[in-house]
Amino acid sequence: MRTHPATCPAAGTSAAGERERPGGRRFASGSSRTIAPSHGPWQTKDMVLYRFLMWLAGLSLRLRAALAPWPGAERLRAPEPPEGAGPVVWLHGASNGELAAARPVIAALRSALPGLRLVVTANSLSGRDLVQGWALPGTAVRLAPHDDTRTLKRFLDAARPAALIVIENELWPNRLRLAAARGIPVFCLAARISERSAGAWRRIPGLARSVIGAITWLAPQDTASRDRFRALGLPEDRIGPLMVLKSAAGAIDAAPLPCPRATTLLAASTHAGEEAIVLAAFKRALAARPDLRLILAPRHPRRRAEVEAAIRDAGLAFATRSAGAEPDAALPVYLADTLGEMDRWYAGAGMTFVGGSLVDRGGHTPFEPAAHGSAILTGPHVANAAPAYAALLAAGGAIEVTDAASLAAAILGLADSRAQVRQAEAAARALAPFTAGAAVAAFLAALARETGPPLKGAADAVQA
């Protein structure tokens, strides 16, 4: 019978009653966290196969890096420790959206622990560049290490983190396995897991037990995710309050656009197959309201050529951000094909269609347009933020559309500043319960409890 990692005995206990981490580091014996050993459940068939596959992938990456310069080679190198002498926390987010949403967490950590050093990692170059642009003192920013044992050991040896913070659904098995083996507490914030992903984990139970057993504390994004993590074996005492980080990020001041806000529609984070529907709807609405303008911001700017072709097929004139053009009131469409400027587009649009929802991609969160007071339009596919959209639709804080005809009708109905204000006010009321402030405070308390003296200041800050 396999033993759950959470029930395995600690790797060692000092005479002072503190459990000892590899390398002589300790954390308080009062912590509920145990150190997962390097044998037993970590050696399940699923985990052994995963480790072998990651070893092969790592070998391939090393060969590629040896043959020619390649930005991704950064994933294989040990990080440069951040400047300073304080404890280190490793924070990881997949890309721009997750890391931008994590800014309240970073701010709370730095406020609670002024001497704290951060190692922030991202899967994408754009995510890494976003955080580097914040110029945070005492912070090292880099691409996330590849999930093979050799690379991760070098990373952990160099960074020596007191804790690992994972944003949303970045549950990499080797990363969590090695963190747990070294007694590094793992905190998952705004954790989200779909029914499809939960089903996939259930089909590899050995790997699932290893990953779930490595989690010290988890704040789920919604009740459905909470129930799925619980069903996968996460104990109740490791589950914190609901946390929706993107609701806490708030709006950022942005330069105004030349087009009137009330007649400007932003199609945000659109996916393949979606732009054609949006453009057809906009063209239909434009025939009735020639003063309408569209800002089209695809989720992945690398799809630029595909989206440009869709605009041409629709017979609409446009300017392109990546070519250096600014929005032009004389042109009906503006292609916002860059990263890091979404706040400007949200601020300049009285209406926002949130992409990934007319095609089955689960949608994107409504918090960014709501923070800017932009009226929200969405398709029916919103599984990634279902509770928030349910609250919005029930309160009249969003309009659901299903095709080009219904989207065109919604655009025409909202192309009025008074209608936009009414809907934005309803959205603000509907989304108020999703604030992350209390959940972030609960995280800081859990962080202090699980790490002990290295991050004890966090507990003092929470109690103050």
Q: Is 170 left (phi over 0), alpha (psi -120 to 50) or beta?
A: beta
Separation between Cα atoms, residue 352 and residue 346, nearest integer Å: 7
Give yes or no: 308 in active site.
no
Separation between Cα atoms, residue 419 and residue 397, nearest integer Å: 11
Q: Which of 234, 174, 176, 178 is nearest to 11 (CA)?
A: 178
Q: Which residues share a beta bridge with 120?
A: 91, 141
Give backbone dihedrals phi and psi of 273, rounded to 5 degrees, phi first: 90, -15
- CA angle, corner 385, sides to 380 and 388, nearest 5? 95
Separation between Cα atoms, residue 340 and residue 9, nearest integer Å: 46
Q: 303-308 long-range CB contacts below 8 Å, 24 or more apart?
A: 303/272, 304/335, 304/337, 306/272, 307/270, 307/275, 307/335, 307/337, 308/335
Contact 222, 390 (CB under 8 A): no
Separation between Cα atoms, residue 118 and residue 159, nearest integer Å: 9
In the set 18, 80, 83, 98, the catalytic residue is 98
Query: Catalytic residues, which ones?
Result: 98
